[in-house]
Amino acid sequence: MHKSAHILVLDPDPLNRVVLQNTLEETYLLTLSASPEHALKQLKSTRIDLIIIDNQQLGDAAQTFLQALKANAETAQLPVIVISASASFLDEAQSLQQGAVDYITKPFNPNIVKARVKIHLAIKQRNDQLCQQALIDGMTSLPNRRALDQTLATFWRQCASGVRPLAVFVLGVDHFERYNQLFGHIRGDECLYKIAQVVAGIINNMDGFTARYDGGRFVALLRDISELEAQEVAEAIHKAVAALAIRHPHSPICAHVTVSVGICYTKADYSRAHRDPLDLAASALNDARERQQKAVLSVV
């Protein structure tokens, strides 16, 4: 049976964990933790959809755990249900103020727990869908500028911590304004969509990331490749776009739509801000166009 969501149960009492496990395991995938430290480690390595904690059993550690969740951008929005032996309105209010979305008193009815879990998972699923939509460019179906900023920051941290190479590509459709003037914006949108799919196909197969940047420009991110491989990727993109054979009679450089590529390749110096490579790659794109080259690579 497919389990619809993954729930983390945090409770030092093994009997309480077993009771919740028996209540929920038929429908959900469960991870059981006896300590906040173990639970936080699980959150780093496992995708969790909802957390259930017993604040009475945890004592002061419950508040510390909730604060740690809210302080981390990756876990701040996770719904937390508190199960407690205390029926005090003050304790319930305190838990909600600390970030819990619900409060259930013991002894509890298993059907009530199932119903509350189902409700909060449905809310989370809807919120996740809205967040995902907010990160997608509606015209190309690629991640948008907001998603790019978030992913670039993540990639930068990962590569900086391990001193791993990171290649940032800025790709621009050559003389795209002339294409729009000749064929209109509807045809221009169709052109960008086709190019977006080609570029994403190449980059995603290499465990990379592709996004719509602005206008007729896209950005691709690749980790753990060499300078030579970065140049080969740029060449592959150039050939793949050319193979689309999209007519461009008003282009002064080719009868078909082409792209130019600027690359910032970082392999050692991570002292700058994570957005700097994006600016350097955009500058390299301008250099490629001025020199009438397919791609220009800048190494930092």
Which long-range contacts (C-beta less than 8 Å, at least 24 apart) are formed by 246-253? 246/191, 246/194, 248/175, 248/178, 248/179, 248/182, 249/182, 250/175, 250/178, 250/179, 250/181, 250/182, 251/174, 251/175, 251/178, 251/179, 252/175, 253/174, 253/175, 253/292
What is the separation of C-alpha 219 from the centre of its chain, rounded to a whole number of angstroms? Answer: 15
pLDDT of residue 2: 55
Class of residue 26 by CB neighbours under 10 A (exposed 0-12, middle 13-18, buried 19+): exposed
**Pairwise CA distance, residues 164 & 225, whole Å:** 9
pLDDT of residue 236: 96
pLDDT of residue 130: 83
pLDDT, tens only, 2-48? 577 999 999 999 999 999 999 999 999 999 999 999 999 999 888 99
pLDDT of residue 131: 80
Question: What is the DSSP pairing of strand 29-33 with strand 6-10?
Answer: parallel
**Pairwise CA distance, residues 228 & 202, whole Å:** 16
Q: Which residue from 7, 208, 276, 256 is spatially nearest to 117, judged by alpha carbons?
A: 7
Mean pLDDT by 10 residues, the chain (300 residues): 82 93 94 92 90 88 89 88 92 91 93 95 90 87 93 93 94 95 94 96 95 95 96 95 95 94 92 89 93 80
pTM (predicted TM-score): 0.68
DSSP state of 8: E
DSSP state of 256: B
Up-side HSE of residue 267: CA atoms within 13 Å toward CB? 11
**Pairwise CA distance, residues 67 & 58, whole Å:** 14
Q: What value, to the nearest 5°, has the Cα angle with vertex 214 and ends 212 and 217?
A: 70
